Every structure is written in C-alpha cells, then in structure tokens.
Amino acid sequence: MHREPNDLYPPIEPYGSGMLEVGDGNLVYWEVCGNPDGKPALVVHGGPGSGSTPRSRQYFDPDRYRVVLFDQRGCGRSTPHASDPAADMAHNTTAHLIADMERLREHLAVDKWLLYGGSWGSTLILAYAEEHPERVTEIVIPSVTTTRRSEIDWLYRGVGQLFPEAWDAFRAGVPETSDPAGLVAAYARRMESEDADVREKATADWCAWEDAVVSMEAAGGPAPYSGRPGRDQLALVRICSHYFAHGAWLEEGQLIARAHRLAGIPAVLVHGRFDLAGPLTTAWELDRAWPDARLTVIDNAGHMGGPETRRAVLEALDEFAG
C-alpha cells in the first residue's frame, strides 16, 4: 500500500479480538489487524499502564503485516482494571507480562514476531526478547528505556533541576517522605490507599509532573498525561508507581548487560536528542552493546517524537516487512 514518507497508513479495524485468560484472575485484551497471512508483529505499549491505541495500527503496512496489539495487565480493556482498588497488584510484574506475551503468541499460533514499542514498551520488549530470542525476528524501538533505577531517579528527581517549580509541587504531594529518592515509593503507597480522595490527588500530582517533563515538546500536546480519562489516569499512575518503586523487578543494568542474548536480531533504535524523560545515553549504551542494532538520533525531537521520528519508524517497519 502506497503512502507518503511522513504519513501513517490509513486507519484500519481489527479482524479479530478477544480476552485471553492469563492466570491470577486476569484477562488480557488482544486484537489482530492487517493481513491474516502477513508478517506477524506485536505492538508493546508504554506506561507501564498506558494501554494500546488505534493509532499504533497505522505504523504497519496492512497488506504486509499481521499486527497484534494487546493491553497489558490492569489497563486498557484488560481486567481487572487497576483503577479498581480491589485489583491485586501482586500479580502484575515484568515477569507476568513476559509470560502473558508468550501465552498470547501461542494462542495466536505465531512462531516468531517483530516487536515494536517505545518508552516502557522498550523495556518490556528487551526483557521479553532476552528471555525468548528465538521468538523475535526484528525489533523497532522509538524512545529507548531500560528502566534502570538510575533512569527512574532521573525522571522523578534529577530532571527536576530543569523544572524546579513543578518538581517542588510533585514532592509536596507526598509530605510524609523527606527523602527525595523515596518519592516514587511514596506515591505507590498512596495509590494503594483505601481513601479515593488520596488516590485521586496522587494521580493528579503525578500526571502534572509527567506533563511538566514533556512540556517543551510540541508533539505531546498540552497535557498528554493529565488529559487522559480519569479511570485511565488512575490505572496508569497506580501501575507506573508500582513498577518503578520496584525497579521493574530487574537487576540494575540487566537489559544492557544481557544484550548479547539479542545477537542476530536486527533492530532499529530511534531516539530524540532532547528526550528529557529518557536521556539519549541509554539508547547510546544499548546500541554499543548490541551489534545488530542501528541507532538513529533525531536532533529536534524529544520523548513524544515528531515527524522525523515517525518517518524513521515507518522506514524501519517498511524495511523489515520484507
């Protein structure tokens, strides 16, 4: 299907969808679109807890790809939803999500698939691929992160040097914590409060901070986090704070240290030089540790991307379509 270089493919609807039982009382929403006989590709959304979006379908040539999207545990159309305080977060970890992806692959009778996703999606893609490299054909990542504790500390403390007013408000949201390094864990505790007002206030404070970090980017719009529907905001913050308070249950630097497990998997990494949420150094270090990866730095982009980021991603996905 023809498209202009900077244009996404036309909107398409799924030809199949369902709810997959993954254990622990969780049902994971999935959908498939494009060509049923096309190259399998899995879209791994960010957040964690953002949920999949119809726009993600449009990065793939629908004539050549069989595109699978899913909502990770606790968000989107998956159940139970993390906005419900009764939803048990004990069964929502990186290891659970990796197992869910494998179960979905088997359910859809996919032998191998291309993986696409950025931000938190990047971390989950790398964790999955290092666990199951034989199931991955290629990888395309815009906005590289590995969720090291150093990256989490930068996002929720270090970058506050550039936005001191917003960071002061973020810190004031958890007055019970005197240690700036404990802010994420404090927010995670507040998101488990039985008091709905406490959870809603923590959600608003967290989203205001996330908005501030990307506020100099044109691509994100005025309030990419605070502008989400209330239910989705609650789930996003509850899941994010839960994962980041635990360092995503990964050893520090694990994903880059084990990048040798990705040998033979071609990859395109696309990263904005002015990504304040996830500095370029992580993408640079991953590229150096992974000979089969190709890093493209977009000089005028940040975490939310933009036209040049979109072009680079589309070119990579078109190239890998065969």
Q: Are residues 64 and 100 in the same domain?
A: yes
Rounded average pLDDT per 10-residue block, the chain, 322 residues: 80 98 97 98 98 97 98 98 96 98 98 98 98 98 98 97 97 93 96 98 98 87 87 98 98 98 98 97 98 97 95 97 90
Rounded to two decimals, the pTM is: 0.97
Same domain, 235 and 315: no
Q: How far apart are CA 194 and CA 24, in angstroms?
A: 22
Inside any domain, residue 42? yes
Neighbouring residues of 86: CB distance < 8 A, sequence distance ≥ 6: 80
Shared domain check, 127 and 255 = yes
Instruction: Please state, in angstroms and rounded to a whole number, the distance separating the CA atoms of residues 284 and 259.
Output: 13
End-to-end CA distance of the chain: 13
Q: If you ran DSSP here, which 8-state letter would residue 222 be given?
A: S
| pLDDT value of residue 126 | 98
CA 176 vs CA 154, 173, 187, 190: distances in Å: 21, 9, 10, 11
Q: Quote the pLDDT of residue 220.
A: 64
Domain carrying residue 173: 150-248
Nearest CA among 128, 64, 68, 121 for reference residue 95 = 128
230-245 and 183-190 helices, crossing angle to 10°: 130
Per-residue tokens: 4: 């202009």
143 and 258 assigned to the same domain: yes
Instruction: Say yes or no: 306 and 228 in one domain.
Output: no
pLDDT 10s digits, 32-87: 999 999 999 999 999 999 999 999 999 999 999 999 999 999 999 999 999 999 99
Task: Residue 148: name the closest of 291, 269, 293, 285 by CA.
Answer: 285
Q: Given 119, 122, 143, 241, which residue is catalytic?
A: 119
In this structure, is residue 2 part of a structural domain? no
Query: Domain check: are 110 and 168 in the same one?
Result: no
Q: In what order do the strands lie in the sheet with 26-34?
A: 16-23, 26-34, 65-70, 39-43, 113-116, 136-142, 267-272, 293-298
Number of domains composing the chain: 2
CA distances from 289 to 12, 176, 239, 268 (A): 37, 41, 29, 14
**Catalytic residue check, 275:** yes
Q: What is the CATH number of the domain that holds 141?
A: 3.40.50.1820
Q: Kindly state whether residue 1 falls inside one of the protein's structural domains.
A: no
Do 55 and 114 have their domain in common?
yes
> Pick the catalytic residue: 61, 71, 211, 275?
275
pLDDT, tens only, 119-132: 999 999 999 999 99
